[in-house]
Amino acid sequence: MFERIIEIIVYLLSELREKNDMSEIDLSKLKQLGYSNSEISAAFSWIVDRVEFSDELFKGDLFPSNVSFRVIQGAEEDLFTRDAWGEMIQYQMLGLIDNEQIETMIEKAMVSGTNGIDKGAIRQYVANYLRNPDTRSKFGSRFMLDGNETIN
């Protein structure tokens, strides 16, 4: 389910890059694609939390402008499908992952001997990364709580 929320987050962040205002985003398109109100709300909640903590995360920028792209090399070319590599670049441009996470994905694929990793696997990795307790404090999101925390 969290992978579906990642899809919505990517859509919303892509729209925000163009429109600069959440009120201008057409949510009917998401509903036509079969996303529920709770999934859309969860994605919005994540983005609002991210904007709230953007000074800490991105030094004031919602979208990092100094993103460098890693060039895939010889032995690495077969690890990911073209679509999967494009998905990784999109996630990096939107600030969901950084170069370190891309390197981690490449290293894991090389060590495991897996080839042809598709977009679904990349989406699942990113979803797991964003749900990881080690990164939760960095994002500060209510959405990322496990359910066993207490609120003071």
Residue-wise pLDDT for 36-82, tens only, equals 988 888 888 888 777 665 544 443 445 555 566 777 787 888 899 99
Nearest to 125, CA basis, from 137, 107, 138: 107
Chain centroid to Cα 104, Å, comes to 15
Please answer whether residues 92 and 67 qualify as being in contact, where contact means their C-beta atoms are separated by less than 8 angstroms: yes
Q: Hey, is 49 helix, strand or coil? A: helix
Bridge partners of residue 80, in order along the sequence: 117
Q: How far is CA 57 from CA 44, 54, 82, 96, in A?
A: 17, 5, 29, 11
8 Å CB contact between 54 and 62: yes
The whole-model pTM stands at 0.67
25 three-class SS: coil
Percentage with pLDDT > 70 across the chain:
72
What one-character DSSP code corresponds to residue 53? T
